[in-house]
Chain A
Amino acid sequence: MAKKASAKDLILDPVFNNNPIALQILGICSALAVTTRMDKAFVMSIAVIFVTALSNASVAFIRNRIPNSIRIIVQMTIIASLVILVDQFLKAFSYGLSKELAVFVGLIITNCIVMGRAEGFAMQNTVRDSFLDGIGNGLGYSMILIVVAFFRELFGAGKLFGSQVLPSWYEPNGLMLLSPSAFFIIGFAIWALRTWKIDQVEEA
């Protein structure tokens, strides 16, 4: 019997110790595309936290009833429905953002974090634990997203959340707005994280 994980552990572990992007290699795609601006990153983060937590909870709720033969499809259906809900809400209450996030909101469905946690955690744990785990992984994902978006928007456009932050003599670094920069920043973020948490370093 595994010891009952405390709520705090479940939520905070995935932020630094078991970060979905930096260690589990999950959820990368959207991390690269929506981090050109802080507002996009924020909305995406909230959407992922919401979907992961709820899908984890739902899958955990019926985990003992899901037949093996349709396991993946059932998980996908639940995840897909939640994502469509998010998309519909965005279209209704934040039209501008929904246009920009278009393809990527849909990609939350295949965001490996959601599927990965549903299959890897929610199928074997209680509703409460799964819900918290969902929040935790969502937070871990959000942390990386926000860090990357912070640098990309700040150095790429001199702005944060659309408002000019750096003085006008700053010539925006165009490379930051292009996608490769997201890779570099995440690479360095991983370097920094693994220098702090040495146990995450890979074998030579």
Chain B
Amino acid sequence: MQPENENTEAKFDKDSIGNVFITALSVCLVCSFLVAGAAVSLKSWQDANKKRDIMTNIVRVAGIEDRDIDEVGSIEAFFKEPAEGDAKDRLYIKDILIDLETGESAVETARQFLGLDESVDEKEVIASYDQYKAANDNRKDKDGKFIYAKRLDKSNDIAGLAKIERISHVYLLQDAEGNVKKYIFPVRGKGLWSVLYGFLSVEPDFQTISGLTYYTHGETPGLGGEVDNPAWKKQWTIKENRKGEMVGKQIFGDDGEVKISVVKGKAQDDFSVDGLAGATITSNGVTNMLEFWFGSNGFKAYIEKQQQTGSSGDTASKAGSEGVVDNG
């Protein structure tokens, strides 16, 4: 039996207050250094991955298959302008920024939003513009209205977004001569548990849908999460019907109003898509999202402008924003 004194002096008391502090502090410091270090140094890779994921989704919804990608070389290559020697029918994706209210190009406003000066190339401005960040932007002009965003009031906020951006990306799948084969719109809307973010691909007639895909959402796996099910997604593509015709879902009805919807049960016609079993709210969310983004607060102005330009070469923009309430 050793005498008490020798014991306490020779042993290090790990339960002393001092040691509690020192250990706690050192563990915290080391761990936070490691974690923060990793987060910061890996950020560029992670951001690149996120970007790539979005590009992949755009390319897929445009109906481009693996072999087309292999031909071009990589997903990123699809977004590059065609070079001099490329084949006339080579498809690539052009990223543009449009003002949702007027339907016109909005690169300069985006440049202001990003705080970039004139020396920065247009393509870079477009590539750097994050519309979801813009939707959260709080900068106001002298009249008290949001400059880069727009608050929606209850009657307009069909998709449950509260506040949206003024400038949105639109992706054009076109050939080297500038003929647009498909228009791809970034869309989003509230489901049951989350906002579903996705891309919708539309034919040049602005009436036929050629694809819908969601790349981020938090809906219940097996229920609302079935928006990811290839079988359900296939309904949004252009397929051969019983008569041998290639048909796709139609957006607008005869009255010019958005008619496409996700119905309960089985789809009856070209304006409806099968509902998601057990996920009424998610299904409604999809319908509402489409109604919103093809309405006056969404891409309607842009679409009308494109339709005008297409038929008469008239580049005057039509302000298709009746009913928009600007609450700033």
Cβ contact within 8 Å between A74 and B49: no
* A46-77 interface bits toward B, Cβ cutoff 8 Å, 1 = contact, 0 = none: 00000000000000001011111110001001
Across the A-B interface, give the 3 residue pairs with the lowest CB-CB distance, nearest first: A95-B49, A92-B45, A81-B31
Which A residues are closer than 8 A to B by beta carbons?
62, 64-70, 74, 77-78, 80-81, 84-85, 88-89, 91-93, 95-96, 99
| Residue with the greatest number of chain A CB neighbours at <10 A, chosen from B23, B31, B39, B53 | B31
Docked CA distance A89–B42 (Å): 7
What is the distance, in angstroms, from A77's C-beta to the closest C-beta of chain B? 6
Out of B19, B31, B42, B52, name the residue touching A77 (CB < 8 Å): B31
> Can you list 5 A-B contacts (CB < 8 A)?
A67-B14, A88-B38, A88-B42, A95-B52, A95-B53
Q: Name the A residues within 8 Å of B45 (CB-CB).
A: 91-93
Contacts of B53 in A (CB 8 A): 95-96, 99
- Complex contact A85–B34 (CB within 8 A): yes
Question: Distance in Å from the Cβ of B211 to the closest Cβ of chain A?
Answer: 20
Q: Given the complex, which residues of A lie within 8 Å of B27, measured CB to CB?
A: 62, 74, 77-78
Which of B12, B20, B52, B53 lies at the interface centre, i.e. has the most chain A CB atoms within 10 A of its CB? B20
Name the one of B23, B24, B31, B46 contacting A91, with C-beta atoms under 8 angstroms: B46
What's the tally of chain B residues with a CB closer than 8 Å to chain A?
Answer: 23
CB closest chain-A residue, reference B45: A92
What is the bound-complex CA distance between A92 and B51, given in angstroms? 12
CB distance from B18 to the nearest CB of A (A): 10
The answer to whether B15 and A91 touch across the interface, beta carbons within 8 angstroms, is: no
Distance A80 CA – B39 CA, assembled complex (angstroms): 14
When the two chains form their complex, are residues A67 and B38 in contact, meaning their CB atoms are under 8 A apart? Answer: no
Contact between B49 and A84, CB atoms less than 8 A apart: no
Apart from A84-B38, A92-B45, what 9 extra A-B contacts exist at CB < 8 Å?
A: A68-B15, A70-B20, A70-B23, A81-B31, A88-B38, A89-B38, A91-B49, A92-B46, A92-B49
B46, chain A: closest CB distance, angstroms: 5
Of the residues A62, A64, A85, contact of B35 by C-beta under 8 Å: A85
Do the beta carbons of A70 and B24 come within 8 Å of each other? yes
In the assembled complex, the CB of A56 is this many whole angstroms from the nearest CB of chain B, namely 16
Q: Contacts A88-B39, A89-B42 given; indicate if A77 touches B12 (C-beta within 8 A).
A: no
A65 and B16 CA atoms in complex are apart in Å by 10
A81's nearest neighbour on chain B, judged by CB, is: B31
A138 nearest CB across to chain B (Å): 20
Q: How far is the CB of A171 from chain B (nearest CB, A)?
A: 16
Find chain B residues with CB under 8 A from A89 CB: 38, 42
Per-position binary interface string of chain B over residues 15-43, scored 1 when its CB falls under 8 Å from any chain A CB and 0 otherwise: 11001100110011001101100110010
B266 at the interface (CB under 8 A from A): no
For B38, the closest partner residue in chain A by CB is A88
Contacts of B15 in A (CB 8 A): 67-69
Once the chains are docked, how many angstroms separate the CA of A70 from the CA of B19? 11
In the complex, are the beta carbons of A81 and B49 less than 8 A apart? Answer: no
Q: How far is the CB of B252 from chain A (nearest CB, A)?
A: 34
Complexed CA–CA distance, A73 and B206 (Å): 58
Contacts of A80 in B (CB 8 A): 31
Least CB distance from B29 to A in Å reads: 11
Contacts of A91 in B (CB 8 A): 42, 45-46, 49
**Complex alpha-carbon distance, A152 and B16, angstroms:** 52
CB pair B14–A85 under 8 Å, yes or no, is no
- CB of B50 within 8 Å of the partner chain: yes
A64 touching B42, Cβ below 8 Å: no
Give Cα distance in the complex from A64 to B15, angstroms. Answer: 10
Q: In the docked arrangement, what's the CA distance between A21 and B28, Å?
A: 31
* Complex interface: chain B residues within 8 A of A85 (CB): 34-35, 38
Separation of A78 and B31 alpha carbons in the complex (Å): 7
Q: In the assembly, what is the distance between CA of A110 and CA of B35, in Å?
A: 18
Cα A22 to Cα B34 in complex, Å, equals 34
B45-86 residues at the A interface, CB under 8 angstroms? 45-46, 49-50, 52-53
Query: Does B23 lie within 8 Å of A62, measured CB to CB?
Result: yes
Residues of A near B28 (CB, < 8 A) are: 77
A84 to B20 Cα, complex, angstroms: 24
Q: How many Å from the CB of B128 to the closest CB on chain A?
A: 20
